[in-house]
Chain A
Amino acid sequence: MLLMVPAVAFAEYKLNLQTPNTALGHTIFELHTVITWICVVIFIIVFGFMFYAVFAHRKSVGHKAAHFHEHFWVEVGWTIVPCIILVAMAWPATKALIQLRDTSEPDLTIKATGYQWKWGYDYIKGEGEGISFFATLATPRAQIEGTEKKGEHYLLETDVNVVVPVGKKVRVLVTAADVIHAWWVPALAVKQDAVPGFIRDTWFKATEPGIFRGQCAELCGKDHGFMPIVVEVKSAADYSAWVASQKANMKKAAVADAPDKTWTLDELKTRGEKVYGANCVACHQPNGMGTPPAFPPLSGSKIATGPKGDHLARVLNGKPNTAMASFQHLSDADIAAVITYERNSWANKTGDMVTPAEVKAARGGSQTGATAAEPAAAAPVAK
């Protein structure tokens, strides 16, 4: 245990793993420390011999070469001893791994879906089920480009946090909508690849409240470094309060986006500008000019000024074999808004309006079902 003291101190100087906030995280931290000490000891022994030879067995001090080139028992020894050491390391690792993979009997289940380039969360089961939101990088572009001073949590802040209760086993289902991502929060010792078309899972049980930050950990395209994860661990009471306020907000949003509401073009355009900013601007740019040829311009484009149906199809289905993913996960109102915005901004002056009802019809009736055209990814398959 004494050997852990310097290791934990190093965590402050960012020379070691982050201070863990789960029991399993502590186990992993200790496992890493033990392996490191074993390596240090082996290193000192082996390179002790090497450096001794470098100094004492030099031709320049007159040392004459011996002629031995084998020694049976020494060789047997240095084969068997490493085997023993490795078995000794494998035993605690096996125990930790079996614990790590045991996602049974969770208190709360949350699904994390990786998109290019943000995470979506759905609270599937347990207190808070039904809550659903996206979490996008909140760091302003100006900070990244250097025209504004960088904030304390530069690149590790999102507009909405994943909130969980302290001391409860949280099972995280992980999947993706387009390419492989990975959900990683170092302080909670969880990392799980998000594979499109498949569901994986992992779990954690936070020991203290606090805010814990992580990042996507699998190359997923240009903004791989810009899709962080922020987990906010709250006490049981605070968590319940948060759940209540989330549900209230969702009710308000549902009323605001009621399917039978009549929208004006301006309302849709204003909303659409926000949706565009959160979903489209990374590739198509704020001025709609894109970065051709990889990310074509929307301003003056055939699709944005041509038939509404084509524009709807492109947003709902994406363009296969390109970086244009499907955005069917957005709500009817959001899709209606962003298309209306695109058709009436920059050089585009179609005067068109697309309503949420039209979006719903274009989907083929169901909110998240794949349309008749090529789906970008199948609905996730249960493990």
Chain B
Amino acid sequence: MIAGAEPINNSALRPPHSERGFVGWVRANLFGTWYNSLLTVASVIVIGAILLFGIRWVISDADWTVIATLGGQMIIGQYNTELACPSQNCFWRPQASLLLVTILLGMAWGVAGGGLTKRIAIGISVALAAFALLPYSFERMGMDVRLLLAANIPAVGLGWAIARYTPLGTGRGIALSAIAVFLVTLILVHGVPNVPGLEPVPVRHWGGLMLNLLLAVAGIVISLPVGIVLAMGRRSRLPVVKLLCVVFIEVFRGVPLITLLFMSQVLVPLAFPENFPQNSLFRAGVVITLFSAAYMAENVRGGLQALHPGQAEAARALGLPGWQTMLFISLPQAIRNVIPAIVGQFISLFKDTTLVYVIGMLEVVAISRAYIQGNTEYLASAKELFLFLGLVFWVFTYGMSFVSRRVEKHLGIGVR
């Protein structure tokens, strides 16, 4: 060592106080340049004004009683009225369906074994059970209703146990259970003739958020396979099939859904024989599903087009027949790559279920509107009601896009 040389202080100096911590963050992100500062000041004024005005309105001026008064009608519409369900209590049927869904969630948690799925399953069941504590009188919200809501917590546990200790605890088991749950839900809600306690409820009395969710789930489940078939048809080498698919897709994409729905009441009955059993809900479901399938087809087609042709060529070279190439090589990769677009289409399908109001179905928005128009004393608080409905839908749609983002991350889409 050279004499006299001082040991070098290796530790670098910390950045000056103005560049780190909260002050540094504010300087970097809010007041970096003069126009940034100007933008910050302008934003603060605008956001502050909105918040000030909004919070004051929410706390003092807004009248939220209309939401409490509507209460269960928003969830099931006219389903449990004397008209729909004479001299019996039908509320337990949607509630029992809900319990089945919670059991499914529990099974998903059991299979995934913790992490996000666990938090979602427990969070949803606790939130549902919390509805049992709503401060309604017992005449409006009976003990049976509250107990069935509270049963969501044991249900999620039951689902977890089923997944852990029975052979149903696999991905395939859950998929089969989900189909079974959907069918059982339909039977429960629709009812079975001549079975006491399960008297059929005419579909025109179905309503509220229940109707939106039923339409959305049925639409989502059916429109994806239909969309895939249409996408394959559009790429087909058979001119007739291709032409039919192109015409179908372009017509359904070119016309507003509301027009299609409204025409479904007029045209769809004509397309079936005269005595074919059908009802307006069935027709609405068919139209919403086909509409969504047309968009889905374009998403899937995009995925198929983006696929490198080498994939299919390699599969053919290995001796796979054409349909196996499509089913096991092309489609899985294509769909995996367009998951964001597909989930976006699911979300828009869910939002579109509000449009069945045109054919007189009382889904959640329609029944709220009808209530406002029937009880003019609530006309002034219509804004509050629709704001609330907006938030309800937001929770569902944002939840869907959140889960989709997690799935994409899990599959590593966009990462090479």
- Bound pair: A and B? no
Residues of A within 8 A of B (CB): none
Interface residues of B (CB under 8 A from A): none
